[in-house]
Structure 1
Amino acid sequence: MVQAALDQALAAGVGMFAALAAGLIAIPLLRWGWVPPKAFFWGPAITFIAVNYACDALIHIWVPLRRGGVTPGMLVMGLRVETLRGGRPKARAYVFRWLLMTVDGLLLGLVAVVSIVVSRRRQRIGDLVARTLVVCVDPASPRTFG
């Protein structure tokens, strides 16, 4: 859960920066009368949502695909994504994991917690569908995390 919070904080931070930039661009455009007053609110809001969503996809699909199954949050926590057989997952597996994160996040993450507690290998729903495991990078520790 800490790893997911770190990854989301990174995506939200980039989204906030982009929203701030959009707001700063909207100020002179508003003064010159080139955009309606609603653009001062909606421009940064839409920018935040779009950039946050794109960064989230980038962090959970592209980065682990290129970095051996590790997102920035996983790097900090010492975790990695592997297939059930111990290999590197394909892009499809990362897409499934990312898309099903919305299901896992329902009820403030309760769905993921229940899935992790109930499943034999402590996997969340995204990992069950993608046939992946989140494992400790330390080879001395055989723990797996959903």
Structure 2
Amino acid sequence: MAESTIITGQFVRISQTPASIGERFLALVIDYFLIGLYIFSTATLLSKLNLPSEFSWFFFLCVVYLPILGYSFLCEMFNHGQSFGKKLINIRVVKVDGSTPSIGSYLLRWLLFPIDGPITSGLGLLVVLLNKNNQRLGDLAAGTMVIKEKNYRKIHVSLDEFDYLTQNYHPVYPQSADLSLEQVNVITRTLESGEKDRARRITVLAQKVQELLSVTPREGNQEKFLQTILRDYQYYALEEI
């Protein structure tokens, strides 16, 4: 599985590798085993308590049903994107850009889990197989992915790497500040690409950037134009720190 590298607007380089289908499945098996063990333990306890029937149902609802229903959501929200199974397999949920998911993101992927699996007979597995980040429907909707914990690295980038961002630097294209992090990553990957059609891709991308930002290049070639766009974006991102 290919490792992806992202540099955020806060100048943090993030390297992450999507978890494999096997790792995610094994984590799910562990979670289900733990849930089964929990059900068995609480059922045994309930049988020994000899509670009245009305209290038994209340006990079952509060102590068994609700915790199991919200197991994955609660674990991921309070345990940095990891259920117990994910923690044992060393994988966890993050946003696609490497940041920590919001409560809404965790909630959305939890709500869509039945559609990924039980209700649609494994539609989520098919979706995972068809995208490079191994994302199920819940991940795609929430903008999340499951990554290998051991390959996840956050490295604060020294400002010395941006030697052109001095007090004397004057941005050429203020519109570059409107670019999203994903768009900046596309430009960066294209410029760093070593593929044979690199020149063509740079030309096509430069034209799209010009149309998106409504700017006219001042540079003599498209590659220098994209490099300037990146410098300007980083200049404005640095101002926000």
User: Unpaired segments of 5 or more residues in structure 2?
Assistant: 1-24, 154-241
Paired residue total: 126
2-structure distance, mates of 1:73, 1:55: 14
Choose 1 or 2 for highest CA Rg: 2
Q: Which 5+ residue runs of structure 1 have no aligned equivalent?
A: 30-34, 142-146
Amino acid at match of 2:130: V
Structure with the larger helix share? 1
- Comparing 122-131 with 8-17, greater Cα deviation is found at 8-17
Q: Partner letter of residue 81 of structure 2?
A: G
Q: Which runs of 4+ in 1 moved over 4 A?
A: none
**TM, length-normalised to structure 1:** 0.72
What amino acid sits opposite 1:2 in the alignment? L
Is 1:10 paired with 2:34? yes
Matched, 1:119 2:131: yes
Q: CA deviation at 1:63?
A: 2.4
Deviation digits for residues 10-59 of structure 1 (CA, Å, limit 9, x no counterpart)? 22221221122112223xx6xxxxx5xxx5xxx48x828961441341x3
Question: TM-score if structure 2 supplies the norm length?
Answer: 0.46
Root-mean-square deviation (CA), in Å?
2.8
Task: Answer with 63-72 or 83-92: which moved more.
Answer: 63-72
Structure-2 separation of matches of 1:112 and 1:49:
30
Distance 1:69 1:15 in 2: 23
Judge conservation of contact 1:104–1:124 (CA < 8 Å) in 2.
yes
2:145 maps to 133
For residues 12 and 51 of structure 1, the distance between their equivalents in structure 2, rounded to whole angstroms, comes to: 11
Identity of aligned residues (%): 21
